[in-house]
Amino acid sequence: MTIRQLTHQILQKKSFLCIGLDVDLDKIPQHLLAAKDPIFEFNKAIIDATHDIAVAYKPNTAFYEAYGLKGWAALEKTINYLNNKHPEVFTIADAKRGDIGNTSAMYAKAFLQDLGFDSVTVAPYMGKDSVEPFLAVKGKFTILLALTSNEGAFDFQVQGAGNGELYKKVLETSKTWQGSDNLMYVAGATKAEYFKEIRKIVPDNFLLVPGVGTQGGSLKDVCRYGMNSRVGLLVNSSRAIIYAGTGEDFALKAREEALKVQQEMKEILFQV
């Protein structure tokens, strides 16, 4: 998928909503547990109920690995379903990987080529040669952690490094890497006041924004400081949407919750 296609989809759906598919078997409707593959059945129902108002889906790999082989099979089925039934949506493997070069190349193969995700999240701590193997995959995107939505972000990311804070150093340095055209960044909604600084360094790149919803970030603030001429934002909500209902009508409840966010997005898109 190209940035142009992504922006086109956003304007068409009047939405820049990404839904996080973080499936916890203790939290999904209990009637699904009788199914052969409850994780996939849950995802399929959520996707079918929301694909016209969400532009991206983001399974977090931790939730699949926690169920071993069964979980990995459900992840494969979920990305195959998205690629076959809804090829217009943008897919994100929220994996937060990063290792020495030959190892990162294996992760890039796993997520971007074999599983066929459009993008994968990557941690920057190990620097250039840990990220470039992801950037080398043509037509795919690498979403680098810059400023995350959690409390622990204050431990290192906003520490001084060079002429600014570490997250700024990450943004600046990453622009010099081979394949940097394929970069997007994670910037947490809980730190919307930092978005002005982020946009000074990366005005054009898409930002994947977690932290709206359960984590408490404000959509309006994120848009005020983070939006650019190509919209440039994918705002994620996971738990607040997918666990909105616990009964047989859970997918409908998820849609209702997603619609609330999408309505807010629509207003912002056509007024800002």
Cβ closest to a second copy, residue 16 vs residue 63: 63
**Does 178 engage in binding with a second copy (CB under 8 A)?**
no
**Does 216 engage in binding with a second copy (CB under 8 A)?**
no
Is 13:52 a contact under the CB 8 Å cutoff? yes
Among 26, 151, 270, 271, binds a second copy (CB under 8 A): 151
DSSP 118: S
E strand or H helix at 187, and its extent? strand 183-187
Binding to a second copy, residues 42-101 (CB under 8 A): 60, 62-63, 65-66, 68-69, 72-73, 76, 94, 96-101
Burial string for 64-75 (b: 16+ CB within 10 Å, else e) reads beebeeebeebb
Question: Can you tell me the distance from the alpha carbon of 93 to that of 143, in angstroms, rounded to the nearest whole number?
Answer: 10
**Does 37 engage in binding with a second copy (CB under 8 A)?**
no
Among 30, 33, 160, 181, binds a second copy (CB under 8 A): 160
Q: Catalytic site residues?
A: 96
Question: Can you tell me the distance from the alpha carbon of 208 to that of 266, in angstroms, rounded to the nearest whole number?
Answer: 18
DSSP 231: B
Among 33, 35, 80, 125, binds a second copy (CB under 8 A): 125
State the minimum distance, in angstroms, from the CB of residue 92 to a second copy. Answer: 13
Is 110:132 a contact under the CB 8 Å cutoff? no
Question: Can you tell me the distance from the alpha carbon of 14 to that of 54, in angstroms, rounded to the nearest whole number?
Answer: 9
Question: Can you tell me the distance from the alpha carbon of 7 to that of 1, in angstroms, rounded to the nearest whole number?
Answer: 10
**Does 161 engage in binding with a second copy (CB under 8 A)?**
yes
Q: Which residues bind a second copy (CB under 8 A)?
A: 22, 24, 60, 62-63, 65-66, 68-69, 72-73, 76, 94, 96-101, 103-104, 106-107, 109-111, 114-115, 123-131, 145, 148-157, 159-162, 166, 169-170, 173, 210, 215
